[in-house]
Structure formats: structure tokens, C-alpha cells
């Protein structure tokens, strides 16, 4: 076995498999994220557009952007995080690139993404 296979084996053993839906840049998703306040745990929603998927293996993350009170907010979630409870895909978008950073410069009607229909 080569080095990459051995590292992947170790990663697979250490991270519990989560069943997340398939999504990509341009999709609108709701991230259910576990938050501990004191000793209470609750689930917080973060809804926005996926800007990019980045990394691989146990380092894989995705960036979600939303406009909150007229201020753009971006959050990066590690896929292997135990605090990531679930992801719900609200809308699938049509975009031509894997990383849609151009969205940061757009506001209002221009920041719309066409919905993908099948």
C-alpha cells in the first residue's frame, strides 16, 4: 500500500461517516450546526449560497454566504466537524464555475442565481 492509501485508511477509521446530500457552488443550502451554550446544546440554522468546496479528505470544507441585515456574512464549515448536524439543499443553482467569488461584488437583483431544473 502506498502512502496516500495508508493515510486515507487512517482518516476513514477516525471520522464517522455522515450522510450529507450532494451540493456544489451556487446551491442554496441550510446548514444545521450544533451549538453548545453552557451545557445546553441546540441547533442553529445558517442559510445561504455555497461559494466553494475546498480541500479533500478530513480537511474538506465548504463556504456559505448570506446577506444578513444588509451585510454579507460568510462562514466556513469543515465537513468532518462533529458539530455539523445536517445540510438541507433548498435550491440548486446554475453556475459555470466551481468557486463563485464574483458573487461577493454583486448585490440585489444581480446577485440572483438561476435555478437548475431537471
Partner 1 sequence: MSGLIGKKIGMTSFHDASGKKVPCTVVEAGPCVVTQVKTKESDGYDAIQLSYDDKKEKHTSGAMLGHFKKAGTSPKRIIREFTRFEIGHQKKLGDIVSVEEFKENEFIDVVGTSKGKGFQGVVKRHGFKGVNDATHGQHNRMRAPGSIGASSYPSRVFKGMRMGGQDGNRRVKMINLQVVKIFPEKNLLLIKGSVPGPSGSYLILERWM
- Cβ proximity to partner 1, 13 vs 70, nearer residue: 13
The SS3 call for residue 107 is coil
Residue 77 beta carbon to partner 1: minimum distance, rounded to whole angstroms: 13
β-bridge pairing 84-91 and 40-54: unpaired
68 versus 81: smaller Cβ distance to partner 1: 81
Q: How far apart are CA 90 and CA 28, in angstroms?
A: 5
Nearest-approach distance from CB 62 to partner 1, in angstroms: 16
Nearest approach in angstroms of CB 38 to partner 1 is 15
Q: Which residue, 45, 51, 102, is CA-closest to 74?
A: 51
Asked if residues 72 and 50 have their Cβ atoms less than 8 Å apart, the reply is no
Q: Which residues bind partner 1 (CB under 8 A)?
A: 1, 3, 6-7, 9-11, 13-15, 57-59, 80-83
Amino acid at each position: 500500500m502506498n502512502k496516500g492509501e495508508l493515510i486515507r485508511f487512517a482518516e476513514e477509521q477516525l471520522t464517522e461517516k455522515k450522510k450529507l446530500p450532494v451540493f456544489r457552488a451556487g446551491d442554496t443550502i441550510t446548514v444545521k450546526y450544533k451549538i453548545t451554550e453552557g451545557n445546553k446544546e441546540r441547533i442553529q440554522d445558517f442559510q445561504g449560497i455555497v461559494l466553494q468546496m475546498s480541500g479533500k479528505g478530513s480537511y474538506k470544507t465548504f463556504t456559505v454566504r448570506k446577506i444578513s441585515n444588509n451585510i454579507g456574512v460568510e462562514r466556513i464549515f469543515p465537513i468532518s466537524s462533529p458539530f455539523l448536524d445536517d445540510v438541507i439543499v433548498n435550491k440548486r443553482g446554475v453556475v459555470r464555475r466551481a468557486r463563485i467569488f464574483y458573487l461577493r461584488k454583486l448585490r440585489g437583483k444581480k446577485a440572483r442565481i438561476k435555478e437548475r431544473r431537471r
